[in-house]
Structure 1
Amino acid sequence: MQLLPSSLKHHHSSSYRLAKNLFLILSSVFIVYLLVSMFVIFTSKGLLIHSPEPELTGHLTSLDHVVFAIISSENSWLKCTDYAKLWWRPQQMKGCVFLESIPPPDSLDLHNDTDSLLPPICISADTSRFPYSNQRGLQSALRAAHAVSEIMAMDRSDVRWFVFGDEDTVFFPDNLVKTLSKYDHRIWYYVGSGSENFEQNREFGFGMAFGGAGFAISSSLARVLAKKIDSCLERYPRLYGGDARVYSCIMELGIGMTHEPGFHQFDVRGDAFGLLAAHPVSPVVSIHNLKWIDPIFPNKTTAESLEHLFKAARVDPERLLQQTICYDRWFSWTISVSWGYAVQVFPGHLFLPDATRVQETFKHWKKGNHLADSYVLNTRYLHPDPCGRSTVFFFDQVHSDEDGIRSTYRKLSKDNCSYDPASPRHLEEIRVYSRKLRRSVRQLMAPRRQCCDILPSSNNKVIDVAVRGCKEEELIYMHM
C-alpha cells in the first residue's frame, strides 16, 4: 500500500475537519429553522398550548372586555329589574337584554336612556322559521340560542368574552372578570357550570353549562359559533332550552365545557343556606333561581337580601361566601365563617371534610322522581333536632379602612333550647377581621382555603375571629 506524504496527510485532515464543521453548522441552522417554522405554524393555527393570559397579553381581562347578553321576555324582565340594578354598571358594562318586543311606554325605566340603571334593550330577531318540537318548552328558547349571532353582529372588536344569562341571573362582575382572567380568550373556551341536581344534569347533559347560572364564550369561539348557530337550530328542534342548543353546537365544534364552580344554577327550592354557607374555594360568579328559594337573610325580602349581600360584595368581592374553618380548643367548638353571609358555631369538633359539606337545608327541585333527591354535591343531612344544629349568626354590617376590614354577624332568632355555659348558644355576636382578598390569577389556578384564629375576648357573648392566609405547611385540623 502506498503511503501519502505527511504534508498531504495534514491537508486531507484539515479539509475533513472543515467539511465536518460546516456540516454541523448547516445542520444546526436547519434544525433552528425547522423549529421556528413549526412554532409559527402551530401558533397561527391555535394549536400551541398557551400559558395563562396575563403572561401573553401583559394585562388582565377587565369589564371593558366583556359583553353581556341577558335573555328575557317583556313580562319576565319587568319582574327582575331590581336584581339587575344591583349588579349592572351602566358606565362600565357592555351588552343588552334581549326582549321579543318593545316594552310599553309607561315602563319608561326600561327604555334606553342615559340615566338608566339597567342594561340597554335589544329586540330579538325573528326566529319563527326555525323548528321547535319540545312539548314542555317554549319556542322563545330559540331566541336565547340565536342571540349568539346577534350579539356578535354588533361592533365588538375589543371584546374577549361574551357572557350569557337569564333575567334572574345575578352576576358578581368583579369575580366574573377575575375568573375569566384565568383563560386565554384567543383559545376556544366555553366556561360555566352544571346543575346541583343530579336529575337535571342527567336530562340536559352533565357537560352543559346551564344558562340560568350563566356561561361565558371566548371571542374566538363566539366568532365561529355565530356562523354555525342557524344550522344547529335546524338540527335540534327537540331540545328544551336555548342553552341546550348552544351546548350542542359547541359540542359539534369539538369543544367541552370548562367547569367553574362559581357559576350557580341553584336548582333547589326553599332554604338555600346550606349551599351559600359551604361555597367552593373559588370566587362566587352568579346566583340563579332566586324566585324559587327563600330570601337568603331572615326578616328580609329577596330584593332586600340581595342588596344586603352586595354591601359585603362591594367591600371585598373575592372573599364573599369564602368558607374558613377554625377550632376553639377551650370549648371544643368548630367555627365556620362564610364571609359576608353567615358564621356557624358547631357545639363540638367536626373534621374539616365534614364541616365543609353542604347541609341539606333546601328542598328537592322536582317531586315524584326517585332521582329528585340526588345531588352532584357532597351533602350531609340536616340534624333533625334544631337544638342539635349549629348556632347561626348572619351578616350584619361591614367596615373597611386602612387597618383592614371588620365584618359583624348577629344571631337573628331565639330558640327554646336548653344549654350549659359551654354551649355556643349564649353567644350574640361574631366579629371577623380580615384584609381584602387579592389572589393572583396563578393562585386562582389552584386556590387554597384561608386559615383563621380565634382571638382573646373579655366578653363572653362575643367572639373575635381573624382570617388570614395559611402558612406554607399549615394544616386546618380538629384538635383532639
Structure 2
Amino acid sequence: MSSSAEQTRQHQHPHPHPFRPWKLLFFIIAALTTLVFSPISLSLSSNFHPKTFKHIFQRNTLNTPDSTTNISHIVFGIAGSAKTWPKRRPFVELWWQPNVTRGFLWLDQAPPENQTWPATSPPFRVSGNTSSFKYTCWYGNRSAIRIARIVKESFELGLGNVRWFVMGDDDTEFFIDNLVTVLSKYDHNQMYYIGGNSESVEQDVIHSYKVAYGGGGFAISHPLAVELSRILDGCIDRYAQLYGGDQKVQACISEIGVQITKEVGFHQVDVRGNPFGLLAAHPVAPLVSLHHLDTVDQLFPTLTKFESIRKLIGSYNMDPGRVLEHTFCYDLMRNWTFSVSWGYSVQLYSSLVTAKELETAFGTFDTWRSSSDGPFVFNTRSVSNDPCQRPLLYFLDRVDTAGLGQTRSSYMKHVDALGKDCGRVDLVGVMEVQLVNVSAPYFTPDLWKKAPRRQCCEIINGTEGVDNVVQIIIRGCHRFESVTPP
C-alpha cells in the first residue's frame, strides 16, 4: 500500500478500533506471565554457556509428555570399584534387570581385558581422572571425588528420555518397582533431590541432616542434573574438606537452592548387628532401598546373607508394594497380639500390646560409628530380659499366589525364638503355635497415592482345625476402625 493511500485511510478512519486501555493492560500481563512461567528459563550468571540451553531444550522436548514415570525414565549410576565388584556383583544382579533397567556401574579402573563382562550385570564405565581435584579431608578417601562426579558423568552421556538420575553403591539393593512408585509422585520437570538420612544420629550430626545418603541411594531430576553438572567440578574444589561424595553433591545442590525431599523408604542402614528391629517396624511407605546388607547380620537367622536378601526379594517380586509393610491386630479370644512385617516376619505376643508400642522398633542393633545403643532418628524400645515378656518370632517360609488377586505367605516359628525359655504354665498355648499363615490382596501402587495409613488385619480362628496354626487376613481398614485394645 502506498504512503498516500495509507494517509487517506487513516484520515477516513482515524480510529478504526476504539482504544481500550484494559486490553493494553491485559496484553502486558500476558507477556509478563509468559516470561516468568515459561518452562525454559535461563540463568543469566557469568557461567552460562550455550550448551546449557541445549540441555534445557532437550529436557523440555524429551520429557514434555505427561505419561506416568516408568523404569525406562530412570538412569542408575552405581558407584563401584574393580576390587569390590567380584564380591558384590551377585547382590546387584538380584535387582538389576537387563534390557529393563538403564544405567552403568562406574569403576575406578577397567576390568581385566581377558574378562568377559556378564550380560546379567550392569554395563560398566570407567570414571574420569580426578587427580586435578582438591581433597583435604584427612580421614577420608579421594574416591569420594570420583563418586560425586558420577551424576555429572551420567548426565553428560546425553541419554534420551531421562527424567531421573538415581545414584547408589554396589552394595545397595534397590526395589525398583517401589522406586518408580515414589518418583512418579513428583513432577520430573521440576528440580528435585530425593533421598533419606542415616539412621544413626551421630552420622547425621557429622555429615548433615540435609544430605541424601548415597548408600541408601538418592534421585536427582533431569532439570536439577542440568544445573548441577554446570557447577559441580568447581564446587567439588570449594568443598574439598568434605568426607563423602554424597556430602559434596549436597553442598553443590545447596548452591542451586534446592533442598532434600525426604522419602523414608530409602534406607542407608547405618547400623551394626541385627537389623531385625529396623525391618520389622518399617514405616508406612514403599521399601525403596537397603544398604550395608553385607555388613549387618543376615536378615533371616537360618540363611546366609546372600540367601536372606534373595528370599526377601522373592517376596518383593510377589507383591512389590506390600513387602515389609507393617500391620498388627488382636486375637481377642486368647488376648494375643500379632505384628506382621509382610514378606519377612511375624511377632506373637501373649498379651494385648498397644499400637504405639508395636510401631516402635526393637533396638536389636547398634549405631554405625560408635556401636552404641543410640540415639537413632527414630524411637526404639529395648528387648526385655524376661523371656516371658518377649514376642515369639516367626520368619517367612514361602509366598504363593492364592488366586483372585491375593497372596498367601507362611511364617514358621524360629527355633531360637526370643520367648523359648519361658516356662509359665499360662503361656503353654502361645508356645504351641508353630505356623502363621497370612492372606492379603495385592498392594496396588495407586494405594500409595492416598494419605498413608497402615492397613488392618484380623484373626481367623479354627480354619486349619489345629491349634498350632494361626490364620491372618490383611485388608484395608473399615471406616472408624482402629487397633484399640478392649
Aligned to 1:475: 482
Q: In the alignment, is the contact (CA less than 8 A) between 1:297 and 1:305 conserved in 2?
A: yes
Partners of 2:25 and 2:457 in 1: how far apart?
Answer: 55
Q: In the alignment, is the contact (CA less than 8 A) between 2:181 and 2:445 conserved in 1?
A: no
Partners of 2:168 and 2:125 in 1: how far apart?
Answer: 14
**1:217-296 matches, cutoff 5 A:** 217-296=220-299
Shift of 1:346: 1.3
- CA gap of 1:425–1:232, structure 2 versus 1, over 3 A, is same
- CA gap of 1:467–1:129, structure 2 versus 1, over 3 A, is same
Aligned to 2:386: 385
Aligned to 1:466: 473
- 3-state SS, counterpart of residue 448 of structure 1: coil
**1:298-337 matches, cutoff 5 A:** 298-337=301-340
- 3-state SS, counterpart of residue 89 of structure 2: helix
Shift of 1:392: 0.8
**1:282-431 matches, cutoff 5 A:** 282-367=285-370, 373-403=374-404, 404-414=406-416, 415-420=420-425, 422=427, 423-431=429-437
How many residues align structurally? 440
CA RMSD of aligned residues (A): 2.0
**1:112-151 matches, cutoff 5 A:** 116-151=119-154
**1:39-54 matches, cutoff 5 A:** 39-44=33-38
Partners of 1:216 and 1:390 in 2: how far apart?
Answer: 38
Aligned to 1:204: 207
1:244-303 CA-to-partner distances (Å, cap 9, x unmatched) read: 100000011111100000000111111000000000100000000112210000111110
Shift of 1:147: 1.2
- 3-state SS, counterpart of residue 105 of structure 2: strand
Q: Which runs of 5+ in 1 are unaligned?
A: 1-21, 48-55
Q: In the alignment, is the contact (CA less than 8 A) between 1:321 and 1:340 conserved in 2?
A: yes
The one-letter amino acid paired with 2:457 is C
Q: Which moved more, 1:33-42 or 1:327-336?
A: 33-42
Sequence identity of aligned pairs in percent?
38
Normalized against structure 2, the TM-score is what?
0.86
1:165-200 CA-to-partner distances (Å, cap 9, x unmatched) read: 011000000000100001011100000000110000
Q: In the alignment, is the contact (CA less than 8 A) between 1:282 and 1:444 conserved in 2?
A: no
Q: In the alignment, is the contact (CA less than 8 A) between 2:367 and 2:376 conserved in 1?
A: no
Shift of 1:105: 4.2
Shift of 1:321: 0.2
Q: In the alignment, is the contact (CA less than 8 A) between 2:74 and 2:166 conserved in 1?
A: yes
Find the partner of 2:180 among 177, 181, 200. 177
Aligned to 1:67: 75
Shift of 1:447: 1.3
Normalized against structure 1, the TM-score is what?
0.87
**Is 1:82–2:82 an aligned residue pair?**
no
Q: In the alignment, is the contact (CA less than 8 A) between 1:46 and 1:187 conserved in 2?
A: no
Q: Which runs of 5+ in 2 are unaligned?
A: 1-17, 42-63
Aligned to 2:54: none
The one-letter amino acid paired with 2:474 is V
Shift of 1:363: 2.1
Aligned to 2:443: 437
Partners of 1:139 and 1:301 in 2: how far apart?
Answer: 33
- CA gap of 1:303–1:106, structure 2 versus 1, over 3 A, is farther
1:372-396 CA-to-partner distances (Å, cap 9, x unmatched) read: 7211112111112334211111011
Q: In the alignment, is the contact (CA less than 8 A) between 2:387 and 2:421 conserved in 1?
A: no
The one-letter amino acid paired with 1:43 is F
Q: Which moved more, 1:422-431 or 1:265-274?
A: 422-431
